[in-house]
Amino acid sequence: PRAILQWNVGSYRDISHESLSLFRLLEPQIEILVLGTGDRVERLHPAMLKQMRECGIAVEVQDTPNACATFNFLTSEKRMTAAGLIPP
């Protein structure tokens, strides 16, 4: 279902195992998480991405404008998708 939740992250540096736990708790479970890291694509720690994959959630990291477009495309295809977006 459509929902908007506050994600307490102000920068890609704030993305952690704890901040990503929000997305693991969503019901129904999401299959893809699109992360928008601001003005440019930022590299996240591989262990965080691995942890999400182990929970059955693929993670796509992009700059925020492209992350918004990807999220809209995936939801138009009826995919179980969530987005974590940091303003550019």
At 11 the pLDDT is 95
DSSP string, 3-53: -------SSGGG--HHHHHHHHS-SSPPSEEEEEESSS--PPPHHHHHHHH
Per-residue pLDDT tens, the chain, 88 aa: give them. Answer: 688 888 889 999 999 999 999 999 999 999 999 999 999 999 999 999 999 999 999 999 999 999 999 999 999 999 999 999 999 9
Q: Which pTM value belongs to this model? A: 0.93
CATH architecture of 12-85: 3-Layer(aba) Sandwich (3.40)
At 2 the pLDDT is 81
- Where exactly are the structural domains of the chain? 12-85
